[in-house]
């Protein structure tokens, strides 16, 4: 019993001795901090004084863990862009430097998550798991670190993959008026990357919360969240968050690209980004330029999109493909921001409101859309068909516009128009329904071979669906060659065309009814034989009819003055009224005049015997 207190005493002595040694060895160190004060607060910005050593784009902290970025670095004060709620900030509050720039968490833990540009989760799934952070502003890869764009990025949309191909590492602009399906094309491209080893980043800039919720619900429904990261700023967020959102999303995507992965990033949309930057610049008293945008509005987008590229094999061979979205006003693609981005990107996909109203979805205007990478980022099987298809479609659009004037069309022109209508019908595609490469090749080859020309327009949708289902019967070895860079051989072409011909046999009309159905399928009234031709015939009849009536009268009446033979004339006049008013008016007077007047009037046109 006596040994236990001694042992406890020795333990306590050892502990206290260790504490005293640590206390003696501790030397307090003073860490200097640079603290300033707020001089004024406005909408989304703050003016701060007392920070002479702050740098451009440096991160500063405000009370309540609100962050800000130093934008204007003047001699007496700095202009700070606030990145959070600022209603509790007042003049005189302390502001502290952090000594670092704005950064964001990156890594595999972000896949399937919805975050804001600061890296804070918005989906209620707990904190992010990340071991690395990258600055949101990073220099673009050097020229010698880049590789040519040679591998296609399949969007699953026939009109884009065939006529406006997009390659991995390319920057393809999507522009059009509001509510024309711009976001739908980008979301379809994300859906089509499932199982293709491509990661996706969707950046919503200043979007409505309901629109973002719809996108998230669609991605979850199609199981696309497993390979997608969403960076979201809503319309009610401060303009500073909308400004840094695309840069933060690009840093997240660059981390995967530098690891050798292929990444697709969607900026939806950069119009809100430009407006947010204009708002911040005007509040910070920067001089405005065209449309009140600051002078460096071109630079903020060029340095963002130049980070999208295809890296060389020495750096892993990863790629970052960008699909920026721009909203135009009244189809004006020559406005300031659209022209800036057209000159920065490698092509554009223009969506026409008139095609959208006609039900041509996706409403891609092929004439105004272009891919500056073109066939270099397209499979050889597409190149074998797409060139002729685009030419035929362009000819059809020109002829369709010309035919609206009511001109008579020859047989070749009519066939070109009918073929173009079937091309347009095949390029239609419902939303969230991507088409595989073999199925697209089958449809394009069937169009090039003219197999759809005999199918009535009202049956095109059903016929195309039957062909898509029959495309699953393409042999596996042929399907494998379609996904390679090898040229499409004649044997493979014949095999696919034969499958398409068998699938479309039941939709072609019978030979005896073909001419009638071809006339019914045309949109021109003259081809139908209903309106213009009867008018022309009526004109010809009107020029011949009076003389023929006079001849008939001369053959019936032996003498001009006989009354019994004048009685049928009113009947002829009433019949003439039914033919046209222009023919009745000259002969309406003899009905009212007396018989003597009729006798005097008839010798004026001497009758001739009918041969």
Specify whether 564 is located in the same domain as 471: no
pLDDT-based confidence at 512, cuts 50/70/90? low
Same domain membership, residue 347 and residue 392: no
pLDDT in tens, 53-100: 999 999 999 999 999 999 999 988 999 999 999 999 999 999 999 999
374 shares a domain with 403: no
The string of pLDDT tens digits covering residues 104-146 is: 999 999 999 999 999 999 999 999 999 899 999 999 999 999 9
Among the listed residues 101, 106, 105, 104, the one whose alpha carbon sits nearest the alpha carbon of residue 81: 101
Q: In angstroms, rounded to a whole number, what is the distance separating the alpha carbons of residues 4 and 404?
A: 110
Residue 517 predicted with pLDDT over 50: no
- Residue 16, phi then psi, degrees to nearest 5: -65, -35
Whole-number pLDDT of residue 319: 97
- The verdict on residue 180 lying in a domain is yes
**By the 8 A CB rule, do 371 and 166 touch?**
yes
What is the pTM assigned to this prediction?
0.79
Instruction: Report the pLDDT value the prediction gives residue 508, as an integer from 0 to 100.
Output: 77
CA 44 remoteness from chain centre: 32
- 352 and 233 share one domain: yes
Q: Do 369 and 385 have their domain in common?
A: no
Chain position carrying tokens 């919503």: 204
pLDDT (average), residues 409-421? 90
CATH number of the structural domain spanning residue 307:
3.40.50.300
pLDDT at 562: 43
203-218 pLDDT, tens digit each: 999 999 999 999 999 9
**Same domain, yes or no: 573 and 522:** no
Is the same domain home to 354 and 490? no
Q: How many domains does the chain have?
A: 4
Q: Say what the pLDDT of residue 273 is.
A: 97
- Pick the last residue of a domain from 66, 82, 102: 102
Per mean pLDDT, which range of 494-498, 515-519, 604-608 is the poorest? 515-519
Q: What mean pLDDT is predicted for residues 215-230?
A: 96
Q: What is the mean pLDDT of residues 431-448?
A: 93
Q: Is the model more confident about 260 or about 375? A: 260
| pLDDT for 511 | 58
Which pLDDT does position 510 carry in this prediction?
65
By DSSP bridging, strand 66-73 and strand 103-106 are unpaired
Domain boundary among 348, 378, 408: 378
Catalytic residue among 194, 372, 479, 501: 372
- What is the per-residue pLDDT for 249? 98
Query: Is residue 464 over pLDDT 90?
Result: yes
Answer yes or no: are the C-beta atoms of 268 and 204 closer than 8 Å. yes
User: What is the percent of the chain with per-residue pLDDT over 70, rounded to a whole number?
Assistant: 82
Section 418-427 average pLDDT: 93
CA distance 23 to 547: 131
End position of a domain, from candidates 326, 346, 378: 378
Alpha carbon separation from 324 to 163, 203, 348, 610 (Å, rounded): 19, 10, 9, 79
* Residue 390 and residue 492 share a domain: yes
Q: Print the domain residue range for 177.
A: 146-378
CATH code, domain with 396: 1.20.150.20
Neighbour order of strands in the sheet with 228-234? 114-115, 228-234, 198-207, 262-268, 319-327, 173-176, 347-351, 370-371
Give me the pLDDT at residue 547, please: 40
Assess whether pLDDT exceeds 80 at residue 406: no
From CA 403, how far away is CA 477, in angstroms rounded? 45
Structure tokens at 130: 């990340």
Task: Tell me the per-residue pLDDT of 528-549, one tens digit each, with 9 for 90 and over.
Answer: 344 444 444 444 444 444 443 4
Q: Percent of the chain beyond pLDDT 90?
A: 65
Measured between its terminal Cα atoms, the distance across the chain in Å is: 155
Half-sphere exposure for 377 (CA within 13 Å, toward CB): 28
pLDDT at 93: 95
Q: What is the mean pLDDT of residues 494-502?
A: 93
**Are both 48 and 75 inside the same structural domain?**
yes
In a shared domain, residues 373 and 386: no
Q: For the ranges 26-35, 84-93, 138-147, 235-244, which has the lowest average pLDDT?
A: 26-35
Regarding whether 233 and 342 lie in a shared domain, the answer is yes
Output DSSP code: residue 534: H
Q: Is residue 447 part of a domain?
A: yes
* 342 & 473 share domain: no
372 is catalytic: yes
* Torsion sign, CA atoms 522, 524, 525, 528: negative
Q: What is the dihedral of CA 39, 40, 46, 49, to 10 degrees?
A: -10
Query: Residue 97 is part of a domain; what is its CATH number?
Result: 2.40.30.20
Q: Is residue 466 part of a domain?
A: yes
Q: Tell me if residue 517 falls in helix, strand or coil.
A: helix
Compute the mean pLDDT over every residue in the chain, rounded to the nearest whole number. 84
């Amino acid at each position: 019993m006596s040994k236990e207190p001694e042992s406890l005493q020795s333990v306590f002595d050892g502990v206290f001795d260790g504490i005293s040694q640590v206390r003696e060895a501790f030397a307090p160190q003073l860490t200097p901090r640079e603290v300033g004060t707020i001089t004024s607060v406005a909408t989304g910005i703050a003016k701060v004084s007392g920070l002479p050593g702050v740098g451009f784009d440096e991160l500063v902290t405000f009370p309540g863990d609100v962050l800000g970025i130093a934008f204007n670095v003047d001699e007496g004060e700095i202009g700070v862009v606030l990145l959070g709620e600022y209603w509790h900030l007042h003049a005189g509050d302390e502001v502290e430097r952090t000594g670092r720039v704005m950064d964001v968490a990156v890594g595999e833990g972000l896949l399937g998550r919805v975050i804001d540009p600061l890296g804070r989760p918005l989906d209620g799934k707990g904190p992010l798991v990340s071991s690395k952070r990258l600055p949101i502003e990073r220099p673009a890869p050097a020229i010698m670190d880049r590789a040519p764009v040679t591998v296609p990025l399949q969007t699953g949309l026939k009109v884009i993959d065939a006529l406006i191909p997009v390659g991995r590492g390319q920057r393809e602009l999507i522009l059009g008026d509001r509510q024309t399906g711009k976001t739908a094309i980008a979301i379809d491209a994300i859906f089509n990357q499932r199982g293709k080893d491509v990661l996706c980043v969707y950046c919503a800039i200043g979007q409505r919360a309901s629109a973002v919720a719809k996108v998230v619900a669609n991605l979850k429904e199609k199981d696309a969240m497993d390979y997608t990261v969403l960076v979201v700023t809503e319309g009610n967020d401060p303009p500073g968050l909308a400004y840094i959102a695309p840069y933060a999303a690009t840093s997240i995507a660059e981390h995967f690209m530098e690891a050798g992965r292929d990444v697709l990033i969607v900026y939806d949309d950069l119009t809100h980004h430009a407006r947010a930057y204009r708002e911040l610049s005007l509040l910070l008293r920067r001089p405005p330029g065209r449309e009140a945008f600051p002078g460096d509005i071109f630079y903020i987008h060029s340095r963002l999109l130049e980070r999208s590229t295809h890296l060389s094999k020495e750096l892993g061979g990863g790629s970052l493909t960008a699909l920026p979205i721009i909203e135009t006003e009244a189809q004006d693609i020559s406005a300031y921001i659209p022209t800036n981005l057209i000159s920065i990107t490698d092509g554009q996909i223009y969506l026409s409101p008139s095609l959208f109203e006609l039900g041509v979805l996706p409403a891609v205007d092929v004439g105004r859309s272009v891919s500056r990478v073109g066939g270099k980022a397209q499979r050889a099987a597409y190149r074998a068909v797409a060139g002729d298809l685009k030419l035929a479609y362009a000819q059809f659009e020109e002829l369709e516009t010309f035919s609206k004037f009511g001109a008579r069309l020859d047989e070749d022109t009519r066939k070109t128009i009918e073929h173009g209508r079937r091309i347009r019908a095949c390029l239609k595609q419902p939303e969230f329904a991507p088409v595989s490469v073999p199925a697209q090749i089958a449809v394009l080859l069937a169009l090039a071979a003219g197999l759809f020309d005999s199918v009535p327009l009202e049956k095109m949708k059903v016929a195309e669906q039957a062909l898509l289902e029959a495309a699953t019967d393409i042999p596996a070895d042929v399907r494998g060659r379609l996904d390679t860079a090898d040229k499409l051989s004649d044997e493979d072409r014949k095999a696919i065309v034969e499958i398409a011909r068998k699938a479309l046999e039941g939709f072609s009309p019978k030979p005896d009814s073909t001419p009638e159905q071809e006339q019914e399928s045309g949109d021109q009234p003259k081809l139908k034989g209903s309106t213009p031709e009867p008018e022309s015939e009526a004109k010809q009849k009107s020029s011949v009819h009076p003389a023929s009536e006079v001849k008939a009268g001369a053959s019936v009446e032996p003498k001009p003055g006989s009354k019994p033979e004048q009685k049928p004339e009113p009947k002829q006049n009433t019949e003439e009224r039914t033919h046209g008013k222009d023919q009745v008016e000259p002969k309406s007077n003899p009905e009212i005049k007396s018989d003597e007047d009729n006798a005097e009037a008839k010798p004026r046109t001497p009758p001739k015997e009918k041969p």
